Amino acid sequence: MKALLISLGLLLAAVGTPASAQPADAAETAIRTALAQWTRDFNARDASRICDLFAKDLRYDFRGAPERDYDAICGLLHKALADRTKQFVYSHDIREIIISGDLAIVRLTWTVKVTVPGAANAAESKEPGLDVFRRQPDGSWKIVRYIAYEAP
């Protein structure tokens, strides 16, 4: 009987772990996966999930631009993906991920290359910044704050 109770306890612990108890390494993996998926979707011009990385209460600050929210960013992303006169290619370099409970701060640099047909070279912009993620009720991680600036 004692062995049965121990087995049941271990089983419940394995399957009944709440999302808020998610280990930091699992959270970091989920965040890295979300950023990689967004990059793949954007570069493939797949607009169907392009806003999935962002929470509905997103606030986005980019040096010199007005603060934007979820609807504004999603509109800009859809517009960029629909613009067939330019080819955009994003990549990112994660410098650090700090996780504390249901919040995570990702220090990274986004690089975007823009190619215009007929142009000799692609324009490249490097945008260091901080992405602040919050774990959502469904367990996913989404960006709630994005602060960036263009590197010189």
- pLDDT tens per residue, range 70-93: 999 999 999 999 999 999 899 999
Q: What is the pTM of this model?
A: 0.80
Write out pLDDT tens, residues 104-125. 999 999 999 998 887 778 889 9
Check pLDDT > 80 for residue 127.
yes
Expressed as residue numbers, the domain containing 62 is 22-148
Q: Is residue 90 part of a domain?
A: yes
Q: Is residue 2 part of a domain?
A: no
Q: Is residue 31 part of a domain?
A: yes
Domains in the chain, number: 1
Q: Which amino acid is at 73?
A: I
Q: Which residue has the higher pLDDT, 89 or 12?
A: 89
**The domain spanning residue 54 has which CATH number?**
3.10.450.50
Q: Is residue 142 part of a domain?
A: yes
Q: Is residue 108 part of a domain?
A: yes
Q: Is residue 14 part of a domain?
A: no
Cα–Cα distance for residue pair 104/97, rounded to 1 Å: 7
Check pLDDT > 70 for residue 5.
no
What share of residues in the chain are helix, strand, coil (percent, to 5)?
35, 40, 25
Q: Is residue 112 part of a domain?
A: yes
Cα→Cα distances 54→3, 18, 35, 74, 108, Å: 46, 23, 11, 9, 16
